[in-house]
Structure 1
Amino acid sequence: MQTSSARRHFLTSLPLAAIGLAMTSAGTGAQQTPSANTLVAYFTRTGNTRVIALQVRRARQAALIEIRPAEPYPEDYEETVAQARRETEQGFLPPLAQLVANLDQYQEVFLGFPIWGTTAPPVIRSFLRSHDLAGKIIRPFITHGGYGLGNSLDVIRSLAPSAMFEPPFSLEADQERRTMEQVRSWLG
């Protein structure tokens, strides 16, 4: 009786152990697919860029990594804008939460990010400085709040000068800014 109870406990705990192992390995780098030679690397604040990243991942059966700073940006939109402005003006490159450990296996990198202050966010600059993308095909996808791409393409090209760049996909996705403006107007 005790043996069958122990056996049943062991068998029922196997799926939980598998989930734990999967979560541990997912935190060490890009989420893998069996034969992916394409990586989707993206940074998002509100989730707009993530939507595009997930669609690209599905369409290309690509590996996926979210680019995150070691210290997250503030939740408050205006605090984030102020911090990003300071970082850009000072040339500060925030440390990253993780690096892509096996970048050599990827031939193509879809690089996604929002425009911050008419340029690429500091965390994207950190990502490009921290990874050698020489010889890789870079396909930028960029969200913005209505002001366009600014100098972001020049910035990413300067930080990955030996990569081959394809034309970017860009999308106006400024719901957060518009919402804040409408609430301010409503509040008077």
Structure 2
Amino acid sequence: MISTTTISRRQALQRSLLLPLVAGVSSAAASAEPAAAGRSATVLVAYFTRTGNTRLIATQIARTLEATLFQIVPAAAYPEDYEAQVAQAEDERQRGYEPPLQATVPDLSSYETVFLGFPIWGMTAPSVIRSFLSQHDLSGKTLVPFITHGGYGLGNSLAVVAEHAPGARPIDGFSKECDQERETLREVTQWLGSVEIRR
């Protein structure tokens, strides 16, 4: 069973300020970098993030296990606007599109265990995760998912992972409910309706 807990975005961001940044990892480029000098050469933590929630978990896993951290980054960035990103993600899902990646994991064969992290988009794994799994053969490797979601659960994301990594050995993972952006936007819009401003 995937364990579940709840964290607010504010808590996540506050905690992220307490965590040292991992060298070489940024939202602008994907790279595989050690989380510590004495890292485990057999553990990889690969993750995709949009708001930073999944990055927070990935960084903690990599630090604790002294593992290699790799950020999954699409070649073309998703829109900053939330609604536009949702529309694009739905279009990709409907078409079965797998977007190109900025980079792939170098020397994947050296890793025995892969932690794979991502947020739930539209009750499934983002298309970029399908791309990652299609471009990386995880056959024979232990695969550990860690997933963030907005309160609606994991959808069919685990089935997607299993389908795209048929030779991997999946084990129980971790999931965390984080603030839902759509609800935040709704509340902000409602609040703005009560604000009197001069134009």
TM class by shorter chain equals 0.7 to 0.9
Match of 1:182 in 2: 187
Match of 1:30 in 2: 32
Residue among 125, 132, 136 paired with 2:137: 132
Residue among 27, 46, 56 paired with 2:61: 56
- The structure having more radius of gyration, on CA atoms, is 1
- The answer for unaligned runs of 5 or more in structure 2 is 1-22, 194-199
Match of 1:69 in 2: 74
TM-score (norm 2): 0.79
**Matched letter for residue 183 of structure 2:** R
Q: Quick check: 54-63 or 174-183, which moved more? A: 174-183
Residue among 90, 93, 101 paired with 1:88: 93
- The answer for unaligned runs of 5 or more in structure 1 is 1-21
Q: Quick check: 31-40 or 110-119, which moved more? A: 31-40
Q: Is the 8 A contact 2:140 2:167 kept in 1?
A: yes
Residue among 160, 163, 166 paired with 1:158: 163
Q: Residues of 2 paired with 1:173 and 1:104: CA distance?
A: 33
- CA apart distance, 1:77: 0.6
Q: Describe the SS at the equivalent of 2:76.
A: coil
- CA apart distance, 1:29: 3.6
Q: Residues of 2 paired with 1:173 and 1:180: CA distance?
A: 15
Structure holding more helix per residue? 1
Which digits, 9 at most, give the CA deviation of each residue in 1:84-137, with x for residues without a partner? 000000000000000001100100001000000000000000000000000001
Which digits, 9 at most, give the CA deviation of each residue in 1:132-169, with x for residues without a partner? 00000110000001100000000000000010001121
Count of residues in correspondence between the two structures: 164
Q: Residues of 2 paired with 1:48 and 1:159: CA distance?
A: 24
Match of 2:124 in 1: 119
Q: Is the 8 A contact 1:145 1:177 kept in 2?
A: no
